């Protein structure tokens, strides 16, 4: 009987809404029970948000209670805190959670609980209401940060095109600028241009095509140039060593070494460009532009 009174003596109140609706114990005259529900620091919240999960504990047992409170998402422990709730008091406990997308089952559990009375050693007790009800919650992604989850948002990336329109056009409903040309998809549709093949994507396609067709040839040219640079470097070092004993013809030798160093620098710059296809593409475009202007000047 004494144990039953102990089990029914702690009221665990979970929820923010007042007044509390207590589920009373079977034994008459004992004010004990819990309210289903927990609450969060913000709502709505989405994947990636830092959320604080709250719960409240109330003690009407006639003695103080200490222990640990654990916050769970299904079988995963989100956080654990020690607590002490004085008889007749209500306390608030919480844990921080980095919300992730998907289905969740949030609840709290009390463990390692002790009855504490001044002058006596703590006494382990088994509480009758040590686990809260489960808050089942789906956490959505909010791609465009408009406080509407993608599941309910008709335009996930906020580019002015509904997701259904984007599916028909072949654009990415989660990317406002599918072709990465600096103009969002909705604006391109208004301008009657193709949102899947802007200037940015054309350059990228040209670069990819250039890489596939010329990769082998560029590697061979680069290897030959690097070998020539090594030979020049060796010649420069040898010639500089010989100059130390040829003070009488210093000026002529200096000019020869300087010319080779300039040649080596030009070859090194060319190798640098060839090893970076995007830079090579820019050089080719600039060269073609110059040739086009040169050609037009004679027309």
And the tokens for 234? 């060796």
Q: How confident is the model at residue 19 (pLDDT cuts 50, 70, 90)?
A: very low
> Does one domain contain both 171 and 241?
no
> Does one domain contain both 98 and 219?
no
On the 0-12 / 13-18 / 19+ scale of CB atoms within 10 A, 166 is buried
In sequence order, the 6+-apart residues with CB closer than 8 A to the CB of 172 are 157, 166, 178
> Does one domain contain both 37 and 127?
yes
Q: Is 233 a residue whose pLDDT tops 60?
A: yes
In angstroms, the Cα distances linking 155 to 158, 165, 171, 179, 190 are 5, 9, 12, 18, 16
Quote the pLDDT of residue 286: 82
- Coil, strand or helix: which one is 47? coil
Task: Answer whether 52's CB lies under 8 Å from 41's CB.
Answer: yes
87-99 residue pLDDT tens: 988 889 999 999 9
H or E element that contains 188: helix 185-190
> Does one domain contain both 213 and 184?
no
And the tokens for 108? 């709290």
> Does one domain contain both 11 and 127?
yes
DSSP, res 247: G
Q: Is 204 a residue whose pLDDT tops 60?
A: no
The residue range of the domain holding 191 is 143-197
Task: Answer whether 70's CB lies under 8 Å from 111's CB.
Answer: yes
Q: Is 182 a residue whose pLDDT tops 70?
A: yes
Last residue of a domain, one of 120, 139, 158: 139
Last residue of a domain, one of 179, 197, 215: 197
End-to-end CA distance of the chain: 110
> Does one domain contain both 124 and 183?
no
Q: How confident is the model at residue 244 (pLDDT cuts 50, 70, 90)?
A: low
Return the CATH number at 80: 2.60.40.10
DSSP, res 131: B
> Does one domain contain both 134 and 149?
no
Ranking 21-35, 201-215, 251-265 by mean pLDDT, the lowest is: 21-35
287 or 295: which carries more pLDDT confidence? 287
Q: Is 251 a residue whose pLDDT tops 80?
A: no
> Does one domain contain both 168 and 237?
no
> Does one domain contain both 19 and 52?
yes
Number of domains in the chain: 3
> Does one domain contain both 173 and 285?
no
> Does one domain contain both 165 and 104?
no
What integer is the mean pLDDT of 232-251? Answer: 64
Last residue of a domain, one of 139, 154, 185: 139
In angstroms, the Cα distances linking 160 to 41, 150, 181, 219 are 31, 15, 16, 45
126-153 exposure pattern, b = at least 16 Cβ within 10 A, e = fewer = ebbbbebeebebebbbbbeeeebbbeeb
Q: Is 80 a residue whose pLDDT tops 80?
A: yes
> Does one domain contain both 15 and 99?
yes
141-158 residue pLDDT tens: 998 888 999 888 888 788
């Amino acid at each position: 009987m004494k144990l039953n009174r102990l089990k029914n003596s702690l009221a665990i109140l979970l929820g923010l809404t007042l007044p509390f609706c207590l589920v009373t114990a079977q034994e008459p005259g004992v004010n004990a029970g819990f309210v289903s529900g927990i609450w969060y620091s913000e709502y709505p919240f989405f994947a990636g948000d830092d959320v604080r999960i709250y719960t409240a504990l109330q003690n009407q047992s006639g003695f103080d209670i200490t222990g640990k409170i654990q916050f769970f998402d299904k079988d995963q422990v989100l956080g654990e805190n020690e607590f002490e709730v004085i008889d007749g008091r209500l306390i608030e406990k919480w844990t921080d959670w980095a919300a992730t997308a998907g289905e969740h089952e949030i609840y709290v559990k009390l463990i390692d609980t002790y009855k504490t009375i001044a002058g006596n050693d703590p006494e382990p007790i088994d509480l009758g209401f040590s686990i809260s009800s489960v808050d089942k919650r789906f956490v959505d992604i909010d791609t465009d940060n408009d406080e509407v989850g993608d599941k309910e948002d008709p335009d996930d990336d906020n580019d002015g095109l509904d997701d259904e329109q984007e599916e028909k056009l072949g654009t990415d409903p989660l990317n406002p600028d599918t072709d990465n040309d600096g103009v969002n998809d909705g604006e391109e549709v208004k301008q009657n241009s193709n949102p899947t093949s802007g200037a940015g994507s054309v350059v990228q396609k040209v670069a990819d095509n250039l890489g596939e067709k010329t990769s082998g040839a560029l590697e061979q040219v680069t290897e030959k140039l690097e070998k020539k640079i090594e030979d020049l470097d060796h010649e420069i070092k040898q010639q500089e060593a010989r100059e130390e004993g040829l003070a009488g013809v210093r000026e002529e030798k200096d000019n020869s070494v300087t010319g080779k160093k300039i040649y080596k620098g030009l070859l090194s710059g060319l190798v640098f460009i060839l090893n970076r296809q995007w830079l090579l593409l820019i050089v080719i475009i600039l060269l073609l532009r110059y040739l086009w202007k040169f050609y037009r000047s004679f027309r």
